[in-house]
Amino acid sequence: MPGLKPFEVTKAVPAADASARTAEPSLLLNRSTAERLPNLRTQSSIAWPTRIKAATRDWASWLQSSATAEMEHGRLFLFSPVFLGAGAVLWFELASDPPTMRLMAWIVALALVATAAGQGRPFVRNSALAGLLCIAGMLSAQYETRGKATVILDTPVTTTITGRVERREGDGAGRWRYILSISGTQSPQIRRPPDRVSVVARGQKEPFEIGEWLTGRARLTPPAGPALPGLNDFAFSAYFDEIGANGFFYGLPSVSMPSAVGTPSMSERAANWLDALRSGIGDRIRGILPGDTGAFAASLVTDERRRSRGKPPTRCDRRGWRISWQSPVSTWRSPRVSSLSAYANC
């Protein structure tokens, strides 16, 4: 028709495609153009030793600033048991016992350094105090070791024992473990008997009271050592607990008072009263919270570790869950770690 102009229909190209088409020629570079481009590195040009040294300096600066902040808030005192324990562990790990006079000399030297540093140089003063606490821990371990004279049973034996009940712990399955102070053995008579033994009595409805004298046929064995090198040494802890043998009774023991036993001393009566109070608290807790929940609660309060059977609570309530996850943290007993699955299985 006259007066109309022809027009062209063009296809709209998206912006992304347009930019891609525009960028395509720039990607097709020949060898000469690529050689003229600058050498661009995708990694740091700093050598690895220099980077490690810089990271070490940063960590040391952060550690020093954090330690200074803790000291300014007065929290260094809370680390005193840590330094004492580290000194005790170091003493037991040494191949030979260091002389006592050398340890005393170190304590005097570190005390002089801490006094000379004063408040003006807190880092030097606190470092000297930390070293002093470590040496004090070593001296404490040495004194504790030399003060013990525990008699350990050398071979398994079956004999009749007579002893006084010092402590008792139940395991929730009708068994009670008693710590007995041995006064004599018969059939056969042990020439070098241990002073204290840990024995289990089965099938007992009511436990014997603390302070009673028991007589019964028992099988005694020495405390077990580590199953593998580096694992827990049960004989080590038994030595410092002054327990020379472990075992069990053949049947129920009988209550009998030896004829040659005198009146208990004041310290023995005080110890019996404390042990009876501890057992009473545990019985009270288990009376209010029956089952494994009460056993966990009693283990947290009185450290009666043998009452629990290592099974998770049957009721998945919040109270039992809190007790079950706190017990492994408090006593570090691996069977109780299984109680952590109680919440997940609910």
Per-residue pLDDT tens for 100-118?
899 999 999 999 998 888 7
| CB-facing half-sphere around the CA of 15: CA atoms within 13 A | 0
Residue 320 has pLDDT above 80, yes or no: no
Q: Considering the entire predicted model, what is its pTM? A: 0.59
Residue 271 has pLDDT above 60, yes or no: yes
- Measured CA to CA in angstroms, residue 134 lies from 74, 121, 236 at distances of 19, 20, 22
User: How buried is 201 (Cβ within 10 angstroms: 0-12 exposed, 13-18 middle, 19+ buried)?
Assistant: buried
State the average pLDDT over residues 208-237. 86
**CATH 1.20.1300 is right for the domain spanning 157-255:** no
Give the DSSP letter of residue 98.
P
State the average pLDDT over residues 269-290. 82
Residue 181 has pLDDT above 80, yes or no: yes
Question: Residue 183 is encoded by which pair of tokens?
Answer: 């006064």
Q: Report CA Rg, the chain.
A: 36
Predicted local distance difference test score (pLDDT) of residue 230: 76
Task: List CB contacts of 111: < 8 A, sequence separation 6 or more.
Answer: 128, 132
Name which residue leads in pLDDT, 161 or 209.
161
Residue 190 has pLDDT above 60, yes or no: yes
Band (344; pLDDT cuts 50, 70, 90): very low
178 vs 165: CA distance, rounded Å: 6
State the average pLDDT over residues 122-146. 89
Predicted local distance difference test score (pLDDT) of residue 316: 47
Domain ranges of the chain: 54-147, 157-255, 266-344
User: How buried is 155 (Cβ within 10 angstroms: 0-12 exposed, 13-18 middle, 19+ buried)?
Assistant: exposed
* pLDDT one-digit tens code per residue, 144-171: 888 888 888 888 999 999 998 888 887 6
88 vs 76: CA distance, rounded Å: 19
Peptide bond into 188 cis (omega under 30): yes
Mean pLDDT of the chain, nearest integer: 75
- What SS3 class is residue 312? coil
13 vs 10: CA distance, rounded Å: 9
Give the DSSP letter of residue 189.
P
**Residue 326 CB neighbours (<10 A):** 16
Instruction: Report the run of H or E that residue 89 belongs to, with start and end.
Output: helix 80-93
Predicted local distance difference test score (pLDDT) of residue 74: 67
State the average pLDDT over residues 210-233. 86
41 vs 44: CA distance, rounded Å: 7
Predicted local distance difference test score (pLDDT) of residue 234: 84
State the average pLDDT over residues 28-32. 50
- Measured CA to CA in angstroms, residue 163 lies from 49, 253, 261, 267, 293 at distances of 68, 11, 11, 18, 33
State the average pLDDT over residues 232-240. 85
Predicted local distance difference test score (pLDDT) of residue 232: 79
Name which residue leads in pLDDT, 291 or 342.
291
Name which residue leads in pLDDT, 126 or 137.
137
Name which residue leads in pLDDT, 56 or 310.
56
* pLDDT one-digit tens code per residue, 39-84: 555 556 677 788 888 888 888 888 878 777 776 676 677 888 999 9
Predicted local distance difference test score (pLDDT) of residue 160: 92
Question: Residue 169 is encoded by which pair of tokens?
Answer: 């712990």
CB–CB of 303/321 below 8 Å?
no
Predicted local distance difference test score (pLDDT) of residue 7: 47
Band (187; pLDDT cuts 50, 70, 90): confident
* pLDDT one-digit tens code per residue, 237-268: 888 888 999 999 998 888 887 766 667 778 87
Name which residue leads in pLDDT, 325 or 147.
147
Share of the chain above pLDDT 90, in %: 18
State the average pLDDT over residues 291-299. 76
Predicted local distance difference test score (pLDDT) of residue 282: 81
Question: Residue 84 is encoded by which pair of tokens?
Answer: 């004492």
User: Which stretches does DSSP call E strand in 105-244?
Assistant: 157-170, 176-186, 196-201, 213-221
Band (334; pLDDT cuts 50, 70, 90): very low
Predicted local distance difference test score (pLDDT) of residue 217: 92
